[in-house]
Structure 1
């Protein structure tokens, strides 16, 4: 009994499957890497701590950079120090998670005094404030 190949001599569909897999990976890669992007705000060097932040969905991120002239950011928008509370208030109007709006403070190590002032002002206005920090390595 002679065995015969039942596929055509040039199975073009089989060669095309590898190309379809490759295209699917190329389209999937940007979708996955965008979820790994850092949170909104300026890049700051956070102090270390042994405590974990409580989880809050979609907090208002306020970043304060270090240096001689610190910069204040609400999300990805740079604001002046005088307009910081107004910018947070504007973002808090869209707060849908229930309770007082949560504000995540990301303050550079060299700007801790500015961060404390902003934290006290936000607490006086009735916001829940969370202080961002790196977890200390054991």
Structure 2
């Protein structure tokens, strides 16, 4: 018994279909991954509130992690507690949105006291501090 191929000798675009699927995935992944990216690169558990934060264009993001030894982050840069104000002042030199530079404080629930100390230091330097929180579920 002889088997015969039912496809024509030149199937046309049939061999190109996997390439089309691959191109669709290559275009889809960047679109999805940007929306899932964390805001500042440091994960903290924010407290809950029913207050809505005002929108600020390009704030300087300061994150404080929880635990026995909290870490201080300015954007994605790990800084020492003593150098925090100096690093924020250096970042504030490029502030061009008008008014005093805005600092978005992302403080872990377990490190609220450290956050208040940093906020007071930054307010004394003339910065406008905003506390980030998640909405009450």
Q: Which residue of 1 aligns with 2:21?
A: 22
Aligned counterpart, 1:76: 76
Partners of 2:68 and 2:74 in 1: CA distance: 20
- Where structure 2 has 5 or more consecutive residues not aligned to the other structure, the ranges are 1-7
User: 2: CA distance between counterparts of 1:19 and 1:114?
Assistant: 54
When normalised by structure 1's length, the TM-score is 0.83
> 126-135 or 89-98: which moved more?
89-98
* RMSD between aligned residues: 1.8
Report the TM-score, using the length of structure 2 for normalisation: 0.83
Distance 2:42 2:134 in 1: 15
**Equivalences, count:** 129
Q: Distance in 2 between the 1:121 and 1:70 partners? A: 17
Structure-1 residue corresponding to 2:51 = 51
Query: Superposition pairs for residues 30-45 of structure 1, below 5 Å?
Result: 30-32=29-31, 33-45=33-45
What is the CA distance between 1:134 and its match in structure 2?
A: 1.0
Whole-Å Cα distance in 1 between the matches of residues 114 and 51 of structure 2?
21
Structure 1 residue 13: Cα displacement: 3.1
Structure 1's unaligned 5+ residue stretches are 1-7
Aligned to 2:133: 133
For the pair 1:122 / 2:122, whether they are aligned, the reply is yes
SS at match of 1:44: coil
**Offset of 1:110 from its aligned partner?**
1.0
Structure 1 residues 99 and 14: CA distance shift in structure 2, 3 A: farther
Instruction: Give CA-to-partner distance per residue, 1:110-136, whole Å, 9 cap, x none.
Output: 111111111111112111211011100
